[in-house]
A and B are shown apart, each in its own frame.
Chain A
Amino acid sequence: MTILLQLLVLLFIGPIAIGLIRTIGARLQGRRGASLLQPYRHFRQLWQKETIEPTGASVIFRFAPYVLLGTSLTIGAAGPFLATSDGLSSSSDLFVVVGLLFVGNIAMALAGLDLGTSFGGMGASRELTVSSLVEPTLLVSIFALSIPARSSSLDIICRTSLLNPQRLLTPADLLALGAFLVVVIAETKRLPVDNPSTHLELTMIHEAMLLEYSGPRLAIVEWASDLRLALLLGLIANLFFPLGIINHGVTAGHLAIAILALTAKVLLLAALIALAETALIKIRLLRVPELLSGSFILAFLSIMISFFVAGH
Chain B
Amino acid sequence: MNASSYRIWLLASSVFTLGIAFAGGWLAIATLNGAHLSLNVNWLLPLAGLHLRIDPLSALFDLLTATIAVAAAIYMIAYFGRHVTTRFTLALMPVFVAAMLLVPMAATYYDFWFFWEIMAVTSAALVLTNYRDSATRNAGLYYIAYTQVGFALILASTAYLNAHSTTGFLDGSGSHLAVLSNTVFVLSLLGFTSKAGLLPLSSWLQLAHPEAPTPVSALMSAAMVNIGIYGALRIDLAGPQQSWWGVLMIAIGLASALYGALHALISSDIKRLLAFSTSENLGIIITALGAYELLRTTHFVIVAEIALAGAILHLIGHALFKSLAFISAGQLIDQSSTRDLNRMGNMIRRARLASTGYGVASLGATGLPLGAGFIGEWLLLQALIHTSTSAPILLRIVMPIAVALLALTVGLKVAAMTKAFGIGVLSRQRVPGSSETVRPTLARVAGATAISLLVLANLVFATVPSIVAPLYQRVADYLVPRGRPIDIGFSIMFMPLKGAISPLAIFIEVVGSAIVVGLLVERHIRLQGRIPSADLWNCGGGAPRIRMQYNSASFAQPLETIFGNALRVQEHTDVDHADPSGLIVTTMVYRRSRADIIATTLHRLVGAIIGQGSSLVRRAHPGNIRLYILYGAIGLLIIFMVTR
- Chain A: residues with CB nearer than 8 A to chain B? 47, 50-56, 58-60, 62-63, 65-67, 69-71, 73-74, 77-78, 88-91, 93, 95-96, 99-100, 102-103, 106, 109-110, 112-122, 124-126, 128-129, 131-136, 138-140, 143, 146-147, 149-153, 156, 201, 211-212, 215-217, 220, 285-286, 289, 296, 300, 303-304, 306-308, 312
Minimum CB–CB distance from B462 to chain A (whole Å) comes to 12
Contact of A100 among B369, B382, B502 (CB under 8 A): B369
A residues within 8 A CB of B411? 131-136
Whether B514 and A66, one on each chain, are in contact in the complex, defined by CB atoms closer than 8 angstroms, is yes
What does DSSP make chain B's interface, helix, strand, loop or mixed?
helix
- Chain B: residues with CB nearer than 8 A to chain A? 345-346, 348-349, 366, 368-370, 374, 378, 381-382, 385-389, 396, 400, 403-404, 406-408, 410-412, 414-415, 418-419, 421-423, 426-428, 491, 497-502, 505-506, 509-515, 517-518, 521-522, 524-525, 528-529, 531-539, 544, 546, 548-550, 554-559, 561-562
- Can you give 17 contacting A-B residue pairs, CB < 8 Å? A50-B528, A66-B518, A69-B514, A70-B509, A96-B501, A103-B369, A112-B422, A113-B423, A116-B549, A118-B544, A121-B549, A122-B550, A135-B411, A138-B407, A143-B400, A212-B537, A216-B525
Contact of A140 among B386, B403, B499 (CB under 8 A): B403
B412: nearest chain-A partner, CB-CB: A132
B residues within 8 A CB of A212? 536-537
Give CA–CA (A198, B561) in the complex, Å. Answer: 25
Whether A312 and B389, one on each chain, are in contact in the complex, defined by CB atoms closer than 8 angstroms, is yes
Whether A116 and B374, one on each chain, are in contact in the complex, defined by CB atoms closer than 8 angstroms, is no
Minimum CB–CB distance from B458 to chain A (whole Å) comes to 16
Whether A216 and B524, one on each chain, are in contact in the complex, defined by CB atoms closer than 8 angstroms, is yes
B residues within 8 A CB of A88? 505, 509
Minimum CB–CB distance from A205 to chain B (whole Å) comes to 11
Whether A135 and B514, one on each chain, are in contact in the complex, defined by CB atoms closer than 8 angstroms, is no
Minimum CB–CB distance from B305 to chain A (whole Å) comes to 17
B residues within 8 A CB of A70? 509-515, 517
Give CA–CA (A146, B497) in the complex, Å. Answer: 12
Whether A90 and B404, one on each chain, are in contact in the complex, defined by CB atoms closer than 8 angstroms, is no
Whether B506 and A91, one on each chain, are in contact in the complex, defined by CB atoms closer than 8 angstroms, is yes
Contact of A116 among B427, B533, B558, B559 (CB under 8 A): B427
Give CA–CA (A175, B115) in the complex, Å. Answer: 55
Whether A128 and B501, one on each chain, are in contact in the complex, defined by CB atoms closer than 8 angstroms, is no
Whether B428 and A77, one on each chain, are in contact in the complex, defined by CB atoms closer than 8 angstroms, is no
B residues within 8 A CB of A126? 558
Whether A151 and B497, one on each chain, are in contact in the complex, defined by CB atoms closer than 8 angstroms, is yes
A residues within 8 A CB of B426? 58, 60, 110, 113-114, 116
Minimum CB–CB distance from A77 to chain B (whole Å) comes to 7
A residues within 8 A CB of B410? 135-136, 139
A289: nearest chain-B partner, CB-CB: B562
Q: Are A106 and B499 CB-contacts (below 8 A) given A66-B517, A146-B385, A296-B404?
A: no
A residues within 8 A CB of B536? 54-56, 115-117, 212
Contact of A118 among B345, B549, B561 (CB under 8 A): B549
Whether A116 and B428, one on each chain, are in contact in the complex, defined by CB atoms closer than 8 angstroms, is yes
Contact of B518 among A63, A109, A117 (CB under 8 A): A63
Give CA–CA (A47, B521) in the complex, Å. Answer: 9
Whether B537 and A117, one on each chain, are in contact in the complex, defined by CB atoms closer than 8 angstroms, is yes
A residues within 8 A CB of B525? 51, 215-217
Whether A128 and B500, one on each chain, are in contact in the complex, defined by CB atoms closer than 8 angstroms, is no
Whether A150 and B386, one on each chain, are in contact in the complex, defined by CB atoms closer than 8 angstroms, is yes
Give CA–CA (A91, B492) in the complex, Å. Answer: 11
B residues within 8 A CB of A201? 539
B369: nearest chain-A partner, CB-CB: A99
Q: Which 7 A-B pairs have the closest CB atoms?
A: A121-B550, A70-B514, A132-B411, A113-B422, A116-B428, A90-B502, A151-B498
Give CA–CA (A152, B273) in the complex, Å. Answer: 32
Whether A110 and B421, one on each chain, are in contact in the complex, defined by CB atoms closer than 8 angstroms, is yes
Whether B544 and A90, one on each chain, are in contact in the complex, defined by CB atoms closer than 8 angstroms, is no
Whether A132 and B400, one on each chain, are in contact in the complex, defined by CB atoms closer than 8 angstroms, is no
Whether B517 and A117, one on each chain, are in contact in the complex, defined by CB atoms closer than 8 angstroms, is no
Whether A52 and B532, one on each chain, are in contact in the complex, defined by CB atoms closer than 8 angstroms, is yes
